[in-house]
Structure 1
Amino acid sequence: MKASELVEKSVDDLNKQLLDLREEQFKLRMAKATGQLGQTHLLKQTQRDIARVKTVLQQKAGQ
């Protein structure tokens, strides 16, 4: 996901997406802990997506 796509979304949509990403991150961490995660790059990708959403939320809060 690109930051330019996130800027166009509303704050409510961003908060919902942040919640979804955190749930996905939790599931990925649990899969890694049990040895079932084969695609470890998804952890880093999800973490960066969360950071992007949080950054855009902060920018919108500052306006």
Structure 2
Amino acid sequence: MSNVRNAYVQELKNKDTKALQEELVAAKKELFNLRFQKATNQLDNTARITTVRKNIARIQTFITEKSKAAE
């Protein structure tokens, strides 16, 4: 599991700000869909919500780092 996370973080590091913004939008849409599934009792893996929330935080962190480095 840790290797998967590290690979994802490495992938995010290599993306530019525009790609990170697109990834953020996609992650937020996924989180919305997961919450909707949970509300309608269709969600099997509730841990996925936590994972997506953490991924959103990671993406936002990289966007902030890149914007501060550009200044």
Is residue 58 of structure 2 the alignment partner of residue 52 of structure 1?
A: yes
Structure 1 stretches of at least 4 aligned residues deviating more than 3 Å after TM superposition = none
> Residues 28 and 43 of structure 1 are in contact (CA less than 8 Å); yes or no, is this contact kept in structure 2?
yes
Gaps of 5+ in 1: none
User: Going by fraction, where is helix more abundant, 1 or 2?
Assistant: 2
What is the TM-score of this pair, normalised by structure 1? 0.94
Show structure 2 runs of 5+ residues with no match: none
Q: Structure 2-normalised TM-score? A: 0.84
Q: Which has the higher contact order (CA 8 A, sep 6+)?
A: 1
CA RMSD, 1 decimal: 0.9
Alignment-derived partner of residue 26 in structure 1? 32
